[in-house]
Amino acid sequence: MHRVSRFAIGESFTKPCAILTPVAIIPLLMIVLELFLDAPLRRAGQQTAILYRDIRSVTTDDLERTNVFFQLENGMQWRFRPNVRGLNASRALLDCEQISSELHSLAFLTDGWMKTVYQAKMGNRSVAVKLVNADGEMMRRCLTAQDDGSTESLQLRCRESVGRKFVKEIVALNQFRHSSIIELIGYCIPMRPSDEDSFQSLAVVSELGEPMNLVQLLQLSWESRLKLFLSLVRLLDFLASHPSGPIVLNDFRAQQFVVVNGEFKLVDFDDIGLEEPSCQTKVDCDGHLARVGIVNATVSVQCSYGRCNGFNDAANIFKAVKHFLFLLQHGVPPSLQPQVDNLMTSFRTLSLPSSSLKRLTNNLVENYATGQYFNTQMRTDYSGFVKYLHADLPASHDYPCRDSFTQNGCVISVANLHEAKYLCSMQAGCLAIVWTGQQSWTGRKVVHFKSNFTNAVYSPRTAVYVKLSRCFIQQNSYLNRIRLPTDGPPWSGEEVSPSYVPDHYCLDPSAYYMSECFIHDADDGQAEFYCGV
């Protein structure tokens, strides 16, 4: 059972401002306030200077120092200093009172070592709310490891330790913004966060994502998994090239990510490092690599100016391989297999930095999106299709197929109409293609493969391409004449009777009865059917 935090959401919300020290004692606070800071506030002038330093000089320890990034607002809560907030701000972040008043419908999601995560509503938007888990593993271990007989002081020290980590995540989410890192929406740091009451008012509000589920990920189409993989590679490159220096995710696990709009986003950002290990020689760097499990790799980590240059990037890539490399290994389009194999080898051997891995991944996406991977066989003329303009086959003749976007049908993406015809021709169960005009995230065209083409309906935005097989000519049909394209076999160009149409260009016997249909030349050389609908 998880313990419900005192930081409730909605009408029963206990506003932290109501339990904080009055403004009248702030002068005294300036003398005794230590919170969980590394230096007292009387040295604030010295600490503030850090704010104006080049961001490359910020250290990991700085991320835990409240008075480096925050100022006390109205004597009640800590807020980012204006110049700090201005570095990345696109909009104001929710404060303690706004979290209390604007969030409602709190629902428990999960417990972690340090935090309890809830889902809440902010207007019509669902958001995630992280609160301190006072009964979590981090708190329990702290209380056990430091048991010195003084329960009250021990609990205070442990609250300070957990509070520092909590503040570190708030700072990191604010300072290191990226499309593959969860968006910070608001936060609450009461004036004395290590006090027992205020401790449980610590809060982080962020966008909400779906937890990673291995089974669900493997059921996604290869293109959807490619999108997830690309978001991960972009994160690796961002961490390696940040102005503050290469950032290492010490706790790089699949559980630290959620899925938002088909992309991975890092949600736990409290265990990061901004410095690479110290060294005197390359042997020292090899030892650091071995301690994280990197042995017999081709990674190039050199001792430069007392630091193992490239270690953080290599460590992140190594952990990404353990948890995410499976994404591209299954269901690869055959013509892309060599390119995918090369990318996977580069990851496994750690032979390239994340910037080069990002370039290779972008090349893979470009190749897939544009259809450059077509081989000679795939470029064969597949003209055995007849086009029905303004037609659709909604919710009918669906069948499952490999790499479908949905489980209820065969919905895939193609680079162009030629690829759609090729893939349909390779599937015995595919008798028709519905061309939707929609696009996937890569810009590829979304099509529906159908097992039949009866009961078509009018649709101004779609077209149906029917795979022709055996002749279907009804004696009493209104199909009076056929005019065939003149620019390709087997058509001769003259008007012919239906009986002369080659077998493999004719409608399947299961076709529905068509009234007043005729065929004429199309701009692309394909026969077009116009039917009286």
Q: What is the CATH number of the domain that holds 153?
A: 3.30.200.20
Query: Which CATH number fits the domain that encloses residue 320?
Result: 1.10.510.10
Among residues 322, 342, 370, the one where a domain terminates is: 370
User: Which of 152, 186, 208 represents a domain boundary (last residue)?
Assistant: 208
Same domain, 332 and 384: no
- In a domain? residue 112: yes
Is there a domain that residue 176 lies in? yes
Q: Looking at the structure, tell me whether residues 389 and 508 fall in a common domain.
A: yes
Same domain, 132 and 247: no
CA atoms in the 13 A half-sphere facing the CB of 68 = 23
* Closest residue by Cα to residue 333 from 468, 174, 444: 444
Is the same domain home to 90 and 198?
yes
User: Do 143 and 57 fall within a single domain?
Assistant: yes
What pLDDT does 372 receive? 81
CB count within 10 Å of CB 76 equals 21
Point out the domain boundary residue: 208, 233, 260: 208
Q: pLDDT tens digits, residue range 168-189?
A: 999 999 989 999 999 999 999 9
Model pLDDT, residue 505:
37
Token couple for 71: 């100022």
pLDDT at position 454 = 87
Same-domain check for residues 328 and 251: yes
| Residues shown for the chain | 533
- Give the three-class secondary structure for 58: coil
In contact, 93 and 80? CB cutoff 8 Å: yes
Rounded (10°) CA dihedral 128, 132, 136, 140: 170
Q: What tokens appear for 399 in the block?
A: 């069948």
236 in the same domain as 91: no
178 falls within a domain: yes
Q: Distance between CA atoms of 99 and 130, rounded to whole angstroms?
A: 12
> Which residues have CB under 8 Å from 249's CB, separation 6+?
239, 256, 266, 271, 272, 316, 319
Helix (H, G, I), strand (E, B) or coil at 389: strand
> How far is residue 248 from each of residues 53, 102, 320, measured CA to CA in Å?
22, 35, 12
Query: Are 448 and 441 in contact, with CB atoms under 8 Å apart?
Result: no
Does 6 reside within a domain? no
pLDDT for position 89: 55
Ranges in the chain, pLDDT < 70: 1-57, 65-66, 85-90, 146-150, 375-383, 469-533
Do residues 316 and 236 lie in contact, with contact meaning Cβ atoms separated by under 8 Å? Answer: yes
User: Which of 272, 278, 279, 277 has its CA nearest to residue 247?
Assistant: 272
pTM (2 d.p.): 0.76
Task: Give the model's pLDDT for residue 469.
Answer: 61
108, 187: one domain: yes
**426-450 pLDDT, tens per residue?**
888 999 999 998 999 999 999 999 9
Q: Are 177 and 226 found together in one domain?
A: no
- Which range of residues forms the domain containing residue 273? 211-370
Predicted local confidence at residue 335, as pLDDT: 85
The count of domains in the chain is 3
pLDDT at residue number 486: 38
Residues 264 and 157 grouped into a single domain: no
User: Does residue 8 belong to any structural domain of this protein?
Assistant: no
3-state secondary structure 239-289: HHHCCCCCCEECCCCHHHEEEECCEEEECCCCCEECCCCECCCHHHHHHHH
Same domain flag for 344 and 452:
no
Q: How far apart are CA 198 and CA 190, in angstroms?
A: 6
Tokens for 77, please give them: 């809560």
Residue 120 lies in a domain: yes
With contact defined as beta carbons under 8 Å apart, do 186 and 7 qualify?
no
Distance CA 517, CA 533 (A): 10
pLDDT of residue 218: 85
Residue 11 lies in a domain: no
Q: Decide if 465 is inside a domain.
A: yes
Q: Are 388 and 428 in a shared domain?
A: yes
